[in-house]
């Protein structure tokens, strides 16, 4: 996604968040826009329909009206109509991502990817998240993944920051030191 596309997506997300806050359901609207964005990304037929320049914006909105009319709040449907009129329906996945980012910023929340060699104990991920929350001054939402190449320990990724406490990393450091000593 280009910087311009991301900026445009953020502008639409900000407008949607303003409407959602007025309706008193920012999280709920986030879930809805995320579901719509996910549907566009995962359903090739829907994506082709929305991408087609041969189908008018009004026809696309008519289909969306029928599909979503009773499932989304009226103001969200009006917002979707504006998105459709501006030929930005294919940006809904990006808009959903930007919306989630705005919600996280407003809630002082960050997401951390915790990679373990094997499934962690019951409280391991939550304990790490709690310690990270204290260090970062934000609520940390842990997302656990398993990668046997880690060998042990944990690799934590928060945004662009990686904290590698894995056994693999420790062995690499030890190897470099040993090779450095032997090479002298």
pLDDT band at 65 (very low <50, low <70, confident <90, very high): confident
Question: What are the tokens at 24?
Answer: 């008193």
Q: pTM score, two decimals?
A: 0.74
Residues 76 and 19 sit within 8 Å (Cβ to Cβ): yes
Q: In what order do the strands lie in the sheet with 109-116?
A: 139-146, 109-116, 153-158, 161-166
The rounded mean pLDDT for the chain is 89
- pLDDT at position 2 is 56
Which burial class, exposed, middle or buried, applies to 42 when counting CB atoms under 10 A from its CB (0-12, 13-18, 19+)? Answer: exposed
Cα–Cα dist 28/47, whole Å: 24
Q: What is the three-class DSSP state of 140? A: strand
The domain segmentation of the chain, as residue ranges, is 3-105, 109-182
- Give 138's DSSP letter: S
Quick: pLDDT tens for 111-169: 999 999 899 988 999 999 999 999 999 999 999 999 998 888 899 999 888 888 888 88
pLDDT band at 183 (very low <50, low <70, confident <90, very high): low
Question: What are the tokens at 33?
Answer: 């826009």
Question: What are the tokens at 103?
Answer: 């919600």
The CATH architecture to which 3-105 belongs is Orthogonal Bundle (1.10)
pLDDT band at 4 (very low <50, low <70, confident <90, very high): low
Quick: pLDDT tens for 95-116: 999 999 999 999 999 999 999 9
- pLDDT at position 178 is 85
């Amino acid at each position: 996604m280009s910087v311009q596309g991301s900026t445009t997506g953020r502008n639409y997300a900000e407008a949607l968040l303003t409407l959602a806050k007025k309706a008193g359901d920012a999280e709920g609207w986030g879930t809805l826009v995320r579901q719509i964005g996910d549907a566009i990304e995962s359903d090739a037929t829907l994506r082709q329909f929305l991408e087609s320049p041969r189908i008018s914006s009004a026809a696309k909105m008519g289909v969306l009206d029928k599909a979503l009319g009773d499932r989304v709040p009226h103001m969200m449907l009006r917002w979707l109509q504006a998105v459709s009129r501006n030929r930005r329906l294919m940006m809904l996945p990006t808009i959903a991502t930007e919306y989630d980012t705005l919600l996280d910023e407003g809630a002082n929340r960050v997401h951390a990817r915790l990679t373990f060699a094997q499934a962690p104990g019951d409280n391991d991920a939550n304990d790490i998240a709690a310690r990270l929350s204290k260090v970062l001054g934000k609520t940390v939402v842990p997302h656990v993944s398993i990668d046997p190449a880690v060998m042990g320990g944990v690799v934590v990724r928060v945004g662009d920051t990686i904290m590698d406490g894995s056994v693999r990393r420790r062995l690499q450091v030890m190897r470099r030191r040993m090779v450095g000593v032997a090479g002298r």
